[in-house]
């Protein structure tokens, strides 16, 4: 069984993670910070954006793969996964701003809603409700 949705979203996640890492690397080079955040608030925010991505994305991909393996996926699952990835990109941009901003809020909300929705679908599938 080929999990096309999961594979596509895992590839997207790898690219987003690489993009987040490159943003960190560029700032490190510009500020000449070799290790840690060097007390630089902008670098700390970018590092947290990547760490936050790594904290949530494996769980989301596991849920997507599990749902897809049951045969209950389809186009809706690809759309939901894409919304998650878009939310993570918006969050990454939003973390560049030290204060509250709509990009970060949209990214956080997308992450939480997608994760909650996927978890509910997974439980309903496990219970035989869908």
Residues 60-72: tens digit of each pLDDT: 999 999 999 999 9
Percent of the chain scoring above 70 in pLDDT = 100
Structural domain tally of the chain?
1
How far, in Å, CA of 125 to CA of 70, rounded? 8
Q: State pLDDT tens for residues 11-69.
A: 999 999 999 999 999 999 999 999 999 999 999 999 999 999 999 999 999 999 999 99
For residue 8, what is the domain's CATH number? 1.20.120.550
If you compute the radius of gyration of the chain from its CA atoms, what whole number of angstroms results?
17
Residue 29 domain boundaries = 4-126
């Amino acid at each position: 069984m080929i999990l096309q949705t999961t594979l596509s979203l895992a590839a997207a996640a790898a690219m987003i993670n690489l993009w987040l890492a490159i943003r960190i690397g560029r700032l490190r080079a510009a500020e000449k910070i070799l290790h840690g955040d060097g007390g630089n608030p902008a670098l700390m925010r970018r590092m947290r954006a990547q760490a936050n991505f790594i904290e949530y994305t494996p769980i989301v991909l596991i849920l997507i793969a599990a749902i897809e393996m049951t045969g209950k996926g389809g186009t809706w699952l690809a759309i939901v996964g894409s919304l998650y990835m878009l939310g993570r990109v918006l969050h990454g941009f939003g973390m560049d701003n030290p204060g509250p901003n709509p990009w970060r809020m949209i990214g956080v909300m997308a992450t939480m809603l997608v994760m909650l929705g996927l978890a509910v679908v997974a439980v309903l599938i496990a219970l035989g409700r869908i």
